[in-house]
Amino acid sequence: MSEGSWLPKTWGEAIPQVFWGVLILGFGLEFCVSILDANYGRALAALVGLLAVLAVLIHQEQLRQRLLNINPNWIAAAFTLFLAAIILSPFVEAKRWPLSAWFQSRIAIIHDPPSAEDIAKATAPIQADLSAATEKLKRMTAPASEDDIAKAKASQAAEDQQKLVSLQSQYDTKLKEAQSHAAASVAPNPRQKIQMDSSKALYIARMLAEYMPSPNYRPGTGMHTTDVNWQLLIANTPDNDDIANLLVALTSTTLHAYRITPPDHSTNLDAPVIPTPPDSPGIILHGDNPLNDKLRFLLSECFIVKTTSRTLDSLNDWFKPGTGTTIVWIEIGKGSPWKDSGGCAH
């Protein structure tokens, strides 16, 4: 190279400059990129490599003289050890370049495109799950056969019949208990009694328990209709004891309902005064609660039913019902509350 110019003039001058320039540029760029990526360990390694290349470039004449003065036997031994180290290196067994993990984020690893067999093996588990799900969906959406429909109807009919028999038994038991209790405390009434048709009574008893929200229900408490006790305070004239017993039987068959004895104000002046039932016939439901709403709806076909929002606040103070217990005040006026309609009584 001519004096005063660093540009090479011949291939012999250009090749060394290109070689050292590529090394210096590679380490320099790696150092800059590592700093920007906040990978300071890799940046330090690149800086050390850059300084080592510069040191070799600056002192290349001294290094050349030292290498020429070294015994060739030592060079052969060192080269043999170097080959042994490469052969025994774990990178050779792993078939990867040393420190290749540092550059994986920037190296685009190109694989051969997968064959049809590779794709089939990879998607075999997914295909098996998809086939199983498809078969299950077909079985679920397939129209039921006539035999299956007949079996389902027969099973449902047997279940309904079993429920009706159970309700009939409970209704008869509750009605007998109420009648025997009334017969023991009140003299028999000479008026001819009308009894409710058993199928109608079972229907009313079953509908009382279905779809009726709890008056004490609060979201998150888990308290439902079957968790609620209903205390019935029924005030009636002696000629309507059978109607009172019927109401007790209907509500206690499927609900937790029972009749409480009205307090006697004549012997205990602190007890609340229960008004005398009116002279007009009919069932009077006092207060707004789910049980009264259902009774009004179900009994209106058979009885004269009247409603009022008037209640006795002193009842709760006197009886002190616990949590989940509601007192329902019902009056039965003088005279028969039955309507002249068929299908309810016999």
Beta bridge partners of 233: 329
The pLDDT value recorded for residue 182 is 57
Q: Give the torsion through C-alpha atoms of 311, 316, 322, 327, to 10 deg.
A: -30
What's the rounded Cα separation, in Å, for the pair 128 and 117? 16
Three-state DSSP state, 330: strand
Question: Whole-angstrom Cα distance, residue 231 to residue 213?
Answer: 17
Backbone torsions φ then ψ of 38, nearest 5 degrees: 60, 30
Q: Are 182 and 238 in contact (CB under 8 A)?
A: no
Q: What is the pLDDT of residues 245-265, one digit of tens each?
A: 888 888 877 777 778 788 887
Backbone dihedral angles phi then psi of residue 283, each to the nearest 5 degrees: -100, 125
φ/ψ of residue 67, rounded to 5:
-65, -35
By three-state DSSP, how is residue 173 classified?
A: helix
Q: Which helix (H) or strand (E) holds 332?
A: strand 325-332
pLDDT at 306: 92
Tokens of 320: 């002190």
Block mean pLDDT (10 aa), the chain, length 346 = 64 81 85 88 87 84 80 84 78 64 53 76 86 83 74 80 75 71 50 66 73 48 56 86 85 75 84 88 89 86 89 83 83 86 62
| CA atoms of 202 and 194, how far apart (whole Å) | 17
| Residue whose C-alpha is closest to residue 234's, from 222, 243, 221, 223 | 243
The radius of gyration computed from the CA coordinates of the chain, to the nearest angstrom, equals 50
The DSSP 8-state label assigned to residue 192 in this structure reads: P
According to the model, what pLDDT value does residue 284 have? 93
For residue 21, the model assigns a pLDDT of 83
pTM: 0.44
